[in-house]
Amino acid sequence: MSSLREECGVFGVYSPERYDVAGMTYYGLFSLQHRGQESCGIVVNDDGLFRSYKDTGLVVDVFTKDRLKNLGQGCMAIGHVRYGTTGSNDRSNAQPILVNHVKGRMALAHNGNLVNSYELRTELELQGSIFHTTSDTEVISYLITKERLTSPSIEEAVNRAVSRLKGAFSLVVMSPQKLIAVRDEHGFRPLCYGQTADGRYVVASESCALSSVGARLIRDVEPGEIVVFDKDGPRSIRDHCGKAERSLCVFEYIYFARPDSEVDGCNVHVARTRAGAYLALEHPVQADVVIGVPDSGLDAAIGYSRQSGIPYEIGFIKNKYIGRTFIAPGQESREDKVRIKLNPIAEVVRGKRVVMIDDSIVRGTTCARIVHLLREAGATEIHVRVSAPPFIAPCYYGTDIDSKEHLIACRHNAEEIAQIIGADSLGFLGIDGAKKMACGGEGRGYCTACFDEEYPTEVPVAMDKNRFERRLSEKRNSKD
């Protein structure tokens, strides 16, 4: 169980007639809630009239029945769930972003992280732009708006703006008459679209969101592709396709995406069970039972069990009513939080040699506490196996790791980490195994920079999450 968090999920719907697109978007966001729990928002387009609501909190709490009713019906809507990798958690940074300009209104939602947002924002500010948020999504909206002034169409403005963006971005953009899906040329973050039986087109970060509203997956948006949905149906702009090496974040398969989703043609559950099988081949051990740490460790545990022949059991019960927003009363006690969220089934592990499968180890503190819980429950041996390679580098594309400072694998090898977390042994999945877990690694490219420091893009100048929110004393190269 890691402390990793991914920044957001996007959703959009285009309907040929007025419909409850707000309700559809609500269900789509609900199914993408795992991608972000800080804030959420919906914008409905009713024949060019935009109605919106967004706030901090979970989808089920933010969108009451009355708020959804107030959004009303429309022909289009876009939505967003957020965990911010750029900008703090407050209402101003909630998405979608709504823009009013001389060429018409526009709404935009963004999944990813730009590596050149600092430079772009500085350039825009020097030209007179005034920013109301600290997220890099507003930078994208300014660029599109600026290009719209001289472009014949919204899609052409988006096409021009995309050429200036570097890094990870999967976007849904809504104009008065069009819904536009955009994926960066590397394809860092997933994006797909489908269609309902009654002809509504749906765009989402993951295919599980399509299923939740009764849409059939048509295909993934290709890296660099812009897909435009309007009264004539979908059409593709491929000016940016094939310009960069495909670099889908491999951690989408390891942790971020929901097991029932298909990402770039590969089912996430199948990928995770395959990772577990590779893990069993790379790090075999004599044991009595295999268990997984909920949730993303469960699929890999099944794969490890099948490959090794060691029986699989449900070793932990997870409290389904405590989300990532849970705050312990009084002093901050991570150990108490772990106990309340996760409880071992003593009858499964007592007196047994246990293989415990987790999706990652970042700092090691949470893993150590889980191992301790198993010891208390009576496990005689605990062999930790991790379905990801060791984290040794920051991520600039949307994962909440912006420095090496707290990465335990930067300071210790596997044997030392095993001692620190209290395990009898520890094994990480190799980088080759991580690349092969999805579709067997057949002809596809993956970003593994957080494991090997081989970045597909330039490393950004300013990289910390709150880079636009520093105190005066913390600002670099300040002239004041």
Of the candidates 183, 307, 294, which has an alpha carbon nearest to the alpha carbon of residue 243?
Answer: 183
E strand or H helix at 172: strand 167-174
Q: Whole-angstrom Cα distance, residue 113 to residue 132?
A: 18
Question: CA-to-CA distance for 384 and 439, rounded, in angstroms?
Answer: 25
Q: Show the CA angle centred on residue 440, arms to residues 271 and 249, nearest 5°.
A: 60
Question: Roughly what angle, to the nearest 10 degrees, separates helices 268-282 and 296-308?
Answer: 50
What's CA 426's distance to the chain center, in Å?
27
Q: Where are the beta strands (DSSP E) in 348-422?
A: 353-358, 381-386
Identify the burial level of 192 via C-beta atoms within 10 angstroms of its C-beta, where 0-12 means exposed, 13-18 middle and 19 or more buried: buried
Contact yes or no for 13/410 (Cβ under 8 A): no
Q: Spell 391-403 as b/e; 16+ CB within 10 A means b.
A: bbbbbbbbbbbbe
- Residues 76 and 45 sit within 8 Å (Cβ to Cβ): yes
Instruction: For residue 466, give Cα distances in angstroms to 35, 414, 447, 463.
Output: 20, 32, 24, 9
Q: Which amino acids are annotated catalytic?
A: 8
Angle made by CA atoms 15, 172, 224, in degrees to the nearest 5: 120
